[in-house]
Structure 1
Amino acid sequence: MTTETKTPVTRALFDEVMVPNYAPGKMIPVKGEGSRVWDQEGNEYIDFAGGIAVSALGHAHPALVSALTEQAQNLWHVSNVLANEPMLRLAKKLTDLTFADKVFFANSGAEANEAAFKLARRYHWEHSGPEKNEIIAFNSSFHGRTLFTVCVGGQAKYREGFEPAVDGIRHANFNDLASLEAIISDKTCAVVMEPIQGEGGILPATQEFIEGVRALCDKHNALLIFDEVQTGVGRSGALYAYQKYGVTPDILTTAKSLGGGFPIGAMLTRGDIAKSLTIGTHGSTYGGNPMGCAVSEALLDIVSQPEVLKGVEDKAARFRKHLEDINAKHGIFKDIRGCGLLIGAELVDEWQGKSKDFLNAALEHGVMVLVAGPNVVRFAPSLIVEDELIDQGMAAFAKAVDQLVAG
């Protein structure tokens, strides 16, 4: 009888077996509960990263665990050859809670955006002719990692080495209406924007800009697509950020927090637009799978509650106060901005390019944060993170900043 020897699971194993497109930190998390995470050595961390704005209810929330467990004992997968109950219930809730009449389910934000861009082109191919195919996005935007979505995204570094790029895409400057007005035309089939640019540095659209984009789309008969992959599902303090701005898109994409950690994405749109995706024009093997939809339905029931959304605003103010106190001491931040619990602290000029240093220092002090490019420290915690954990974690983050400033 032989005893199987298990391979030690260490950070070194990543370098041995994984494609090197990521550079993960040294510690490996093994357990999460609420807004706390533990690594292999039993060290505890307070999580203000939220899996990059994904863990809307923290880790292992009882309602999500229950939904997943119950569904796992019944039905995992049937593909889109058949409908399933969790998918239909979730679609009904999303349409009841938003402007949309119709839903397409996918596995991620990139897939949801891919569907949105394809729908926009096909809609105008049917209604306006093939020459109305141009998509306008904004510089510094991020819409995913597929070839189509990196081409629409406004960051050249993500396209490098993957050219030739998809044709028919142009870029304007965010929060610069004149820049958009200069290039939008009757050839434009859609304008796509994040209400708050995420990877581009946590930059909220101004009210004037977002209203102006809507007006220009109406003038040129172009569809307005809101990428709410990062801003959606309560993160802004409204269920979706468009509701906070009072400006309604024609198509909206959502993912990340939608599954609370279980992979799921969705594209929402009006019924008249949805008609262009007829049978066979688009699909997703796993899109709308019962497991993801069951978890998402349970999450949506909680996040859509008015007291949870109000709590997002209150907790955001608490984070900002801590950041302002740190800044009063060190003058390290040029700007503290964002919306709800998507917060960015932009570093002053002398610290430009060093946001990763803050992430690493925070980790050493038991706090998980994010970056949004080289110059912005990002916070995207659970929407229900406890106030005492905010205070405890931000006190630790303050010590990390103290250490960095001291050199």
Structure 2
Amino acid sequence: MPVINRIAAYAEDMAQWRQHLHAHPELGFECHETAAFVVERLKEFGISDIHTGIAKTGVVAIIEGCAPGPTIGLRADMDALPIAEETGLPYASTVPGRMHACGHDGHTTMLLGAARYLAETRNFAGRVALIFQPAEEDGGGGGVMVDEGIMDRFDIAQVYGIHNTPGVLEGCFMTAPGPLLAAVDTFNIHIRGLGGHGAMPHETRDPVVAALAIAQGIQTISSRNHYALDDLVISVTQIHAGSAENIVPETAYIGGTVRTFDPEVQKMVQRRMAQIVEGTAAAYDVAAELDYQVWYPATVNDADKAAFAAEIAREVVGSDNVEDDVTREMGAEDFSYMLQARPGAFLFLGQGEGAGLHQAGYNFNDAVAPVGASFFARLVERAQPAQG
């Protein structure tokens, strides 16, 4: 697989970095050891302009090029997931109930590999801002870093990120102009009735039947309030109630997720869900409260930057291994906040066969780390050439 020779030369180092990170997963904003490891490696590469404590444990490091110019941002996420690992690997998670099940250990490694090369060569104009972000999985660390001013503070003009994709041919890149990943919202519905004996339901106000009716009603939003050819997913993923077979419980809970691309569709879902919850609660004589949380916005690539990124990917892996107009997906990414703040592009990098993302048997493929690092390095050199 064609990668930059210098990066290929330290592929084994990258594998060791990645496996160390894999064995020491951290969650959310609490990526203290991961950030320390990143900073230690950056210093080894001769990078001294390092800023820590952004979004609690985020890191931004600056590499100066060989001539004046703008700043390009490259982002990697660092956090893991609350999943018990089942890979049996010698470098499996040492922390019970936590693992790198989404490949953020690999994303961090790819950016470290690019950083090492760029710090050695500095064959570009302007600056590179290396963005190591916590809390992608839960907490929107990308949005927090933007809110804390990294784009203006470091004068970042454009920004790029990569996510690995199991089940796609190893080393293949995929992206698209415009919308790539959906906006994600969550909803929590708390229902309170009147509990009692299961043999005397007439003396209760049963929150269970109300919860079932609300869940069924929510499903009609997609089928009856929305144009079928527009993208919308509403999934009820949790219903909790009760403690014994002969007790009508006092409360019930419903939780789920909403995925959209159009802000007007998002508003419609929120409005209709509120109406369904309120109306159904009245019909069943219970109290119900909807907590609807708007989370990550849609990930929308700048068309020109996506085309440029695809061009760079072709230089690294060849034209046959790049798809530049993939169908958008209903997953979500908080890199979206950075793309709202600056033009740029997000790409997927195939890592071959294996367990899927967020599965207990998942493991990042170390063979693709030099590919991602080479992409980042070439992107910088072509976006900001040393000589215009």
TM exceeds 0.5? no
What TM-score, normalized by structure 2, do the two folds share? 0.26
RCO comparison, higher one (Cα < 8 Å, 6+): 2
Q: Which structure dedicates a bigger proportion of its chain to strand?
A: 2
